[in-house]
């Protein structure tokens, strides 16, 4: 008699190994996420309807998220926004204009984000659109240099333009919120690894977003367990959160399934490091060392009200993503801060 073992992979299966060549360019657009919702816990980790409002405070920044009757938008619902942002950024890179309202084939989105294209897959997409439109956010977090003191949804509206007789969507039209579209217009986005769409656990997806936002290609990023729990939007106790992180670390040691970053628990901190650091961290990135002792003070003067260390992380990730050859790190960073300060004014 064979002994039963739990051998389920921590990754979702590749649901579309042979993609339609006609939609290849659309499906292969580089995934992009907006920095603000990568930084702050906008999406719930729950896979069941989450009806609990939440508030997150980090220094002067605050965010309140309230559910509709369908519940809060989930980490997996975020796939829709990533797809929309990716398509807009691809268009901008080709010199084409974009606007807040965009129309696309539902099938293309499902394939690009590794979701089911069965009837259930289309129904799940409808549910995601309801939650994205219904979830209300009130925040003073700057997105693309603007500061918001209003309530808004993650998308303004969604419409099924065409639908087959068996109820499957063909064309979908989405109008993005100003908050999301401002991030697109100001290139306030970061590239995501396509393996992100294969991560099964919502917590793993959230941890990857935070690592991508804060660690980037730096040698490491360290975050206290309690703060990391809050950034993830987890309702677990610190003890339970430590156990969940430990399990993810154990699974990654066996399957090497987490994209780009490894995690370790050191005392009461979780430390993120790029995988294959020698290949990821280019010499030009290692050279981004400030030479002047008052660079951060000058950055605060140029961008009042901003967290200069968050700005520094964004600048470093931006330089790495764009492969910019920086000769003078202090001067380049201060120019970046000055631009952020100009947006505020």
DSSP string, 177-244: -HHHHHHHHTT-EEE--GGGGGB-SHHHHHHHHHHHHHTTTSS-EEEEHHHHHHHHT--S-HHHHHHH
Predicted local confidence at residue 2, as pLDDT = 39
Residue 263 has pLDDT above 80, yes or no: yes
Q: What would the mean pLDDT of 208-229 be, rounded to a whole number? A: 92
Predicted local confidence at residue 186, as pLDDT = 83
Scan for tokens 């926004």, then name that residue. Answer: 81
Top pLDDT among 10 and 265 is at 265
Considering the entire predicted model, what is its pTM? Answer: 0.78
Residue 246 has pLDDT above 70, yes or no: yes
CA dist 6 and 137 (Å) reads 40
Summarize pLDDT for 77-118 with one digit per residue, the tens.
999 999 999 999 888 877 889 999 999 999 999 999 999 999
Q: How confident is the model at residue 282 (pLDDT cuts 50, 70, 90)?
A: very low
What percent of the chain clears pLDDT 70, i.e. is strictly above it? 85
Predicted local confidence at residue 229, as pLDDT = 97
Predicted local confidence at residue 142, as pLDDT = 65
Q: How confident is the model at residue 42 (pLDDT cuts 50, 70, 90)?
A: very high
Maximum distance among all Cα pairs of the chain, rounded to whole angstroms: 73
Q: What is the DSSP string of 306-340?
A: S-HHHHHHHHHHHHHHHT---S-HHHHHHHHHHHH
- Residues sharing a CB contact under 8 Å with residue 272, sequence separation 6 or more, in sequence order: 210, 211, 214, 215, 220, 221, 222, 223, 261, 262, 263
Average pLDDT, the chain: 85
Task: Output DSSP code: residue 22.
Answer: G
Residue 244 has pLDDT above 70, yes or no: yes
Residue 234 has pLDDT above 70, yes or no: yes
CA dist 188 and 236 (Å) reads 31
Lowest-pLDDT range of 74-83, 163-172, 238-247:
163-172
Predicted local confidence at residue 293, as pLDDT = 82
Lowest-pLDDT range of 135-139, 218-222, 285-289, 318-322:
285-289
Radius of gyration of the chain (CA): 20
Predicted local confidence at residue 283, as pLDDT = 36
Domain with CATH 1.10.10.10 in the chain: 202-274
Lowest-pLDDT range of 36-45, 83-92, 292-301:
292-301
CA dist 67 and 131 (Å) reads 8
Is the domain 202-274 a CATH 2.40.50.140 member? no
Residue 73 has pLDDT above 90, yes or no: yes
Predicted local confidence at residue 324, as pLDDT = 67
CA dist 83 and 31 (Å) reads 7
Helix (H, G, I), strand (E, B) or coil at 288: coil
Predicted local confidence at residue 274, as pLDDT = 92
Q: How confident is the model at residue 314 (pLDDT cuts 50, 70, 90)?
A: confident
Top pLDDT among 45 and 287 is at 45
**329 phi/psi in degrees, rounded to 5:** -65, -40
């Amino acid at each position: 008699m064979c002994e039963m073992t739990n051998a389920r992979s921590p990754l979702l299966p590749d649901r579309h190994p042979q993609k339609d060549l006609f939609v290849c360019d659309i499906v292969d657009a580089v995934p992009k996420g907006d920095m603000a919702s990568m930084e702050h816990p906008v999406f719930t980790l729950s896979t069941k309807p989450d009806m609990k409002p939440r508030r997150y405070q980090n220094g002067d920044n605050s965010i309140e998220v309230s559910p509709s009757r369908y519940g809060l938008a989930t980490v997996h619902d975020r796939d829709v926004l990533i797809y929309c942002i990716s398509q807009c950024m691809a268009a901008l890179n080709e010199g084409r204009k974009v606007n807040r309202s965009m129309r696309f084939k539902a099938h293309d989105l499902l394939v690009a984000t590794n979701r089911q294209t069965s009837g259930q897959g289309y129904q799940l997409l409808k549910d995601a659109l309801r939650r994205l439109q219904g979830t209300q956010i009130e925040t003073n977090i700057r997105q693309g240099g603007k500061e918001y003191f209003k309530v808004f949804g993650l998308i303004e509206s969604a419409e099924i333009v065409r639908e087959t007789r068996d109820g499957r969507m063909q064309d979908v039209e989405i109008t993005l919120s100003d908050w999301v579209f401002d991030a697109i217009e100001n290139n306030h986005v970061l590239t995501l690894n396509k393996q992100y769409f294969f991560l099964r656990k919502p917590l793993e997806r959230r941890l990857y977003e935070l690592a991508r936002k804060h660690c980037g290609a730096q040698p490491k990023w360290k975050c206290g367990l309690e703060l990391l729990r809050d950034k993830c939007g987890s309702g677990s106790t610190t003890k339970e959160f430590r156990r969940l992180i430990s399990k993810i670390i154990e699974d990654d040691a066996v399957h090497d399934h987490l994209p780009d970053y490894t995690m370790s628990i050191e005392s009461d901190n979780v430390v993120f490091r790029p995988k294959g650091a020698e290949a990821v961290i280019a010499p030009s990135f290692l050279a981004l060392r400030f030479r002047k002792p008052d660079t951060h003070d000058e950055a605060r003067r140029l961008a009042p009200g901003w967290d200069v260390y968050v700005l520094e992380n964004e600048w470093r990730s931006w330089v790495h993503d764009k492969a910019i050859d920086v000769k003078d790190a202090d001067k380049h960073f201060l120019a970046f801060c000055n631009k952020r300060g100009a947006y505020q004014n």
